[in-house]
């Protein structure tokens, strides 16, 4: 199957597009659209995380679970919303921790594209969702695809920082070679759990400390 995706990623994961499960994903989404269902993000942004962060530039993987399911929110980057869209509660908590950790003023935008362009891959485990129904596409095959992406990163690169926030993300650590990469775990930044270990985790400064140790440029977290 021919999928429009950033070239360096295509070279790494082309084999996934030829598997039955991926064809099932595309057929499922086509069927839902033909039934008048609204799917987020728009088709052109489904692989935005790959487009903004080519394989050879990845320094950090920040794993989310599901795209935002509200109008105009999802943009194919985990936790990120387009400019002009009010940041959701989890993103507000991320910005609070960012401020407390490294002193950066609370950003006025929820658009995290600048992080992605510096090598922070903002990957959701499911790449699409039905409007108003969180996790509606969690079982259609996306997890198999994104697990393969995480495994490919682990196997083919060295010194990547994996940010795993919440129990769902932390289950993915079994896909990662901990001898080659740096895993940081914390509670999810959701209002329901942020005070159970996300606040105070200092993952932004710890990420940069590790990158510097690896002789890589740190991330400029300012937006």
Instruction: List active site positions.
Output: 66
Q: How many residues are present in the chain? A: 223
DSSP 2: -
For residue 163, the surrounding DSSP H or E stretch is strand 161-165
Structure tokens at 20: 């039955």
Residue 97 backbone phi and psi in degrees, to 5: -65, -40
Structure tokens at 133: 């129904």
Contact 110, 91 (CB under 8 A): yes
Q: How far apart are CA 36 and CA 66, in angstroms?
A: 21
């Amino acid at each position: 199957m021919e999928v429009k995706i950033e070239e360096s990623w295509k070279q790494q994961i082309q084999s996934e597009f030829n598997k039955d499960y991926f064809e099932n994903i595309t057929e499922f989404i086509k069927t839902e659209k033909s039934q008048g269902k609204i799917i987020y993000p728009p088709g052109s942004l489904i692989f935005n995380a790959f487009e903004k962060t080519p394989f050879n530039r990845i320094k950090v993987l920040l794993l989310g679970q599901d795209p935002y399911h509200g109008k105009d929110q999802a943009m194919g980057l985990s936790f990120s919303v387009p400019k002009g869209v009010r940041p959701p509660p989890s993103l507000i908590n991320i910005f609070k921790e960012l401020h407390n950790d490294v002193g950066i003023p609370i950003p006025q935008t929820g658009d995290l594209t600048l992080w992605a362009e510096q090598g922070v891959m903002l990957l959701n485990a499911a790449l699409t969702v039905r409007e108003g129904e969180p996790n509606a596409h969690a079982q259609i095959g996306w997890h198999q695809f994104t697990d393969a992406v995480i495994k490919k990163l682990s196997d083919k690169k060295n010194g990547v920082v994996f940010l795993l926030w919440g129990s769902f993300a932390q289950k993915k650590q079994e896909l990662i070679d901990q001898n080659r990469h740096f895993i940081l775990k914390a509670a999810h930044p959701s209002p329901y759990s942020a005070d159970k270990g996300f606040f105070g985790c200092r993952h932004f400064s710890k990420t940069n400390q590790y990158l510097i140790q690896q002789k890589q440029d740190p991330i400029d977290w300012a937006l």
